[in-house]
Amino acid sequence: MSDRRTFLQVAGMTGLGSFLAKPAWADEGQTLQATDLKITEVKITPIALPDPPILAASGCHGPYFLRNILEITTEDGIIGIGETRGGLKRTERLQAAAKHVVGQSAFAYRGFPALLADAAANDKAQSTSDPAVYAGLELACLDAIGKASGQSLSRLLGGPVRDEVEFAAYLFFRFAADHPRVFDDVHLKDDRGRGDRALDQWGEVRTPEAMADMARQWNERYGFKAMKLKAGVLPPDVELDALKAINDVFGGQAPLRIDPNGRWTIETANRIARDLQEMPLEYYEDPVRGQEAMTAVRRETGLPMSTNSCVTRFDHIADAVKNEPVDIVLCDHHGWGGIPACQALGTLADSLGWRLSQHSNNHAGLTMAAMTHLGAVTPQIVHSSDTHYPWLVEGADIIEGPNLKFVDGKLKVPIAPGLGVNLDHDKLARAHEIYQKCGMRERNDSVTMQRFEPGWTRDLF
Ligand code: GKR
Ligand code: MG
């Protein structure tokens, strides 16, 4: 099976040279005070990257997913890079936040949330107080500090506690990349086509057999061991059969996860759980919506439960301590407010008896590197992390060189200064051009799904 290796005709070479430059203070043999990393410019580039028609409780993914890329320039000439969630609203918030951050030192990033909260209070029209805005800025500051000090991001943050970070297979039901409805989409603005010109070659995966075959191939291709089935798409019994078929492929040896994204009723979740109890289930992820419903399923089934929906902020923790809805929290540095925030969550998790994994939405290589560093500096991440990265076809990432490669289901923790990946500005410019042309400005999976299945709504199963 081959993805479109030359997507957008982009190619590059890995280049660590620019990371290996001497720190700005090294010439004079001075201390770190010699550089203040005062921010002179924050550049925000919204981008659209190709996405296949994968399915979730929210509907079907559109032809592109959106991200925002940050480049902060400092007085010392060092440029820090970052990536965060996409969408026009967030681009506008980032642009508003940028104005307040210019003139600050990149070393002082922990002061930015307060600075941005004050700014938001004074300017209600432009909410800069958004954890994903802060997380993008923080990442770019950490990258700049890493480059200035010659240290990798994970060394800066007290690690690495592991040299490699393990990821799980993130298996979605899906339509074929050349399903006719894909080409009806007015947003589509690249030269993908049918057959061997399709975005990818996985074909349609909407049966237990096709899903089990894809799981086998993901294990062979990437080495992933844990298998996460994105559910809440087909009737729950079909999804249960798909999980059983995956289990059979691995002879009962692969840790399994199933995530219906809260689209099941408590009754359905409890009924399906009876079969899950017979399988090597690592955890039951958000089968139902909200802490109280999750608590009801957890009490009834006794299964380990995880979430990226009902405990997603620090101010959800007090209720979670009371309700006990979960055993595992999927942290996400864009949602929890940065990498050190997720480390703090790890400390809390230790005392609450929780374990951590990482949540993912579609992302590019800067986030992939950031998630790897986060996995390396957070000992409580003991479950392999989610990532959508394998869905990003070769050549479509915006980093220099080929897409990052999983070996044995793992990525090596980058050791070059900062994030350890470089932006390829040609690829970035193309991804920005697609953003401008495609007209997508926010994610809307239900509208895309209604083009495949007119009248589709997100009813509960
Ligand atoms: O990409 O469709 C998707 C996923 O469903 C995503 O939006 C979720 O946030 O990956 C996520 C999850 O684990 O729930
Ligand atoms: Mg989830």
Residue closest by Cα to atom 5 of ligand 1? 56
Q: Whole-angstrom Cα distance, residue 132 to residue 337?
A: 6
Give the separation between CA 37 and CA 142, rounded to whole angstroms: 11
Ligand lying nearest the CA atom of residue 360: 1
Q: Which helix (H) or strand (E) holds 375?
A: helix 365-377
Start and end residues for every CATH 3.20.20.120 domain found in the chain: 164-420
Encode pLDDT of 34-53 as tens digits: 589 999 999 999 999 999 99
The model carries a pTM of: 0.93
439 backbone φψ class: left, alpha, beta (φ>0; ψ -120 to 50): left
Q: Give the residue-averaged pLDDT of 257-283.
A: 98
| Å from CA of 287 to ligand 2 middle | 9
Summarised one tens digit per residue, pLDDT across range 277-315 is 999 999 999 999 999 999 999 999 999 999 999 999 999
Q: Is 230 a catalytic residue?
A: yes
Q: Give 210's Cβ-side CA count (13 Å radius).
A: 13
| Residues with Cβ–ion distance below 5 A, ligand 2 | 259, 285, 308
Identity (one letter) of the amino acid at 294?
M
Evaluate whether 331 touches 342 at the Cβ level (below 8 Å). Answer: yes
Residues 6+ apart with CB under 8 A from 303: 273, 276, 277, 281, 283, 284, 297
Instruction: Write the pLDDT tens digit of every residue in 366-377.
Output: 999 999 999 999
pLDDT greater than 80 at residue 396: yes
Candidates 100, 230, 363, 388; catalytic one:
230
**Rg of the chain on CA atoms, in Å:** 22
Ligand 1 mutation target, pool 174, 283, 360, most atoms within 8 A of CB: 360
Q: Please state, in angstroms and rounded to a whole number, the distance separating the CA atoms of residues 28 and 34.
A: 9
Torsions phi, psi of 91, nearest 5? -60, -45
Instruction: In the chain, list all ranges with CATH 3.30.390.10.
Output: 39-150
> Is pLDDT larger for residue 117 or for residue 141?
141
Ligand 1, atom 9, lies closest to the CA of 361
Which residues does a 6 A CB cutoff place in the pocket of ligand 1?
56, 58, 230, 259, 261, 308, 359-361, 386
Compute the distance between CA of residue 298 and CA of residue 306 in angstroms, rounded to an integer. 10
What pLDDT score was predicted for residue 125?
58
The amino acid at 361? N
CATH number assigned to the domain covering 39-150:
3.30.390.10
**Residue 100 falls in the annotated catalytic set:** no
Query: Looking at residue 388, what DSSP letter applies?
Result: -
pLDDT at 14 over 50: no
Digit-coded pLDDT (tens) for 134-187? 999 999 999 999 999 999 999 999 999 999 999 999 999 999 999 999 999 999
- Tokens 């759980």 appear where? 273
User: What is the rounded average pLDDT of the residues 23-40?
Assistant: 65
Q: Which ligand is nearest to the CA of 332?
A: 1
Q: Which amino acid is at 51?
A: D
Task: Report CA 269 to chain centroid distance, whole Å.
Answer: 26
User: Catalytic residue among 179, 359, 373, 427, which?
Assistant: 359
Instruction: Determine the topology of domain 164-420 in CATH.
Output: TIM Barrel (3.20.20)
- The DSSP annotation for 321-369 comes to HHH---SEEEE-HHHHTSHHHHHHHHHHHHHHT-EEEE---S--HHHHH
In the reported structure, the alpha carbon of residue 297 is separated from the centroid of ligand 1 by a whole-number distance in angstroms of 21
Dig out the tokens for 159 from the structure: 């690690």
Write the single-letter amino acid at 179: H
Q: Are 19 and 416 in contact (CB under 8 A)?
A: yes
